[in-house]
Amino acid sequence: MDVTPPAEVVERRINARQAYRSDLKPVWCPGCGDYSVLTALFAALAELQIPPHQIALISGIGCSSRLPGYAATYGLNTIHGRPIPVATGLKSARPDLTVIAMAGDGDALSIGGGHFPHAARRNIGMAYFVMDNNVYGLTKGQTSPTTPTGEQTATSLYGWPEDPANPLGLALAYGVSFVAQGVAGDVKGLARLMVEAIQWPGFAFIEILSPCVTWRGKEQYDVIRDRARPIPPEHDVTDLAAAFRYAHDPEHLYVGVHYRQRKPTFQERVTALQQKAAAKGAGNFDRYLAKFRA
């Protein structure tokens, strides 16, 4: 919370966050990390004072993907693994909207994993929040791509034999222009990261460690708390190699912005192309098509 200087007095609603809340009551399990993510999102939107009708939240399927239903913004609970393509289409058609895609770790890295690198290389102007609980929550606790090696789950009773994917490492390798990690247990810290991500001109990814108390137990909070460390303030966020080192640290989960590098967005490139085409004048599409006739 900041006290704004008198010169910039802004009248804010006492309960500014409430403006974003829908009438639907969340049905997540008590203790679920996703409650904190929702509150952090409301805080970030209130801080940015974006009117609800200018926001679209696009999710896939999963416990975490219920989130758009709880917000009084536009939103779409799409199909499993597809928030990125739907959000990409929306942002392309309505670049004026604040588009936020969101997913669980299963949604984002299993079935929807193929969309991630393409959103990154296109640098679509949207935020992408992945609520990672290391498990498929909605479908009752099966392993996901981020389940740690050796973990016992509903589908790995003797321990999980695979190595987990590293979402931050993948984002960096794919060329995502804004990469950060937040934890559900720190609502205010997470909200601040969301403010940055939402304002970022380009594709902004936040890996959110959001415990599933039902299938991973409350202990998941302790595990995260023990391993979480703020990213050191001296970290140069444009240093990709350093960002990789933090992302792959074997001991600690670094919280904060790992990487940030401005590059042209998809919308900027498309606008440039439109201007180029307009300068050339109207083309003859039929003549162009004729080239392909046998």
Partner 1 sequence: MSTSHTIDFAALTLQDALDLGILIEEDARERYGEFVDQLEAHYTEEAAAFFRNMVRNEGKHRDWLTKRRTSLFGAAPSRVDASMLVEIEAPEFSEADIFMTLRQALDVALKAEVRAYRFFADALKHVRDPQVRELFTELRDEEVEHQQMVQREIDKLPPGPEPDTRGQADEPVGH
Contacts to ligand TPP by CB under 6 A: 61-64, 80, 104-107, 111, 131, 133, 135-139, 144
Is residue 72 at the binding interface for ligand SF4, with CB under 6 A as the rule?
no
- How far is it, in rounded angstroms, from Cα 141 to Cα 154? 5
Q: How far is the CB of 111 from ligand TPP (least distance, A)?
A: 6
- How many residues form the binding site for ligand SF4 (CB under 6 A)? 12
**Closer CB to ligand TPP, residue 167 or residue 202?**
167
Cα–Cα distances (Å) from 91 to 88, 175, 228, 293, in that order, read 5, 19, 33, 34
Is residue 103 at the binding interface for ligand SF4, with CB under 6 A as the rule?
no
Q: Which of 76, 81, 84 is nearest to 62 (CA)?
A: 81
Note the residue count of the chain. 294
- How far is it, in rounded angstroms, from Cα 95 to Cα 212? 34
- Selected binder of ligand SF4 within 37, 63, 170, 193 (CB under 6 A): 63
Q: Which of 191, 189, 184 is nearest to 46 (CA)?
A: 191
Is residue 203 at the binding interface for ligand SF4, with CB under 6 A as the rule?
no
Task: Read off φ and ψ for residue 16, nearest 5 degrees.
Answer: -55, -35
Residue ranges in 139-168 that form contacts with partner 1 under rule CB under 8 A: 141, 151-154, 157
- For 2, which DSSP code? -
Is residue 224 at the binding interface for ligand SF4, with CB under 6 A as the rule?
no
Question: At CB < 8 A and 24+ separation, what contacts does 214-218 make?
Answer: 214/29, 214/32, 214/137, 214/141, 215/133, 215/135, 215/137, 215/140, 215/141, 215/153, 215/154, 216/133, 216/134, 216/135, 216/141, 218/31
Residue ranges in 111-140 that form contacts with partner 1 under rule CB under 8 A: 135
* CB closest to ligand TPP, residue no: 104
Binding range to partner 1, per CB under 8 A, among 61-69, 75-83, 110-118, 217-225? 217-225
- Selected binder of ligand SF4 within 32, 67, 176, 183 (CB under 6 A): 32
Characterize the bridge pairing of strands 135-136 and 142-143.
Answer: antiparallel
- Selected binder of partner 1 within 6, 233, 250, 283 (CB under 8 A): 6
- Selected binder of ligand SF4 within 59, 181, 214, 265 (CB under 6 A): 214
What are the residues binding ligand SF4 (CB under 6 A)? 28-29, 32, 34, 63, 133, 137-138, 212-215
What are the residues binding partner 1 (CB under 8 A)? 1-4, 6, 9-18, 25-33, 35-36, 39, 43-44, 46-47, 135, 141, 151-154, 157, 183-189, 191-192, 211, 213-219, 221, 225
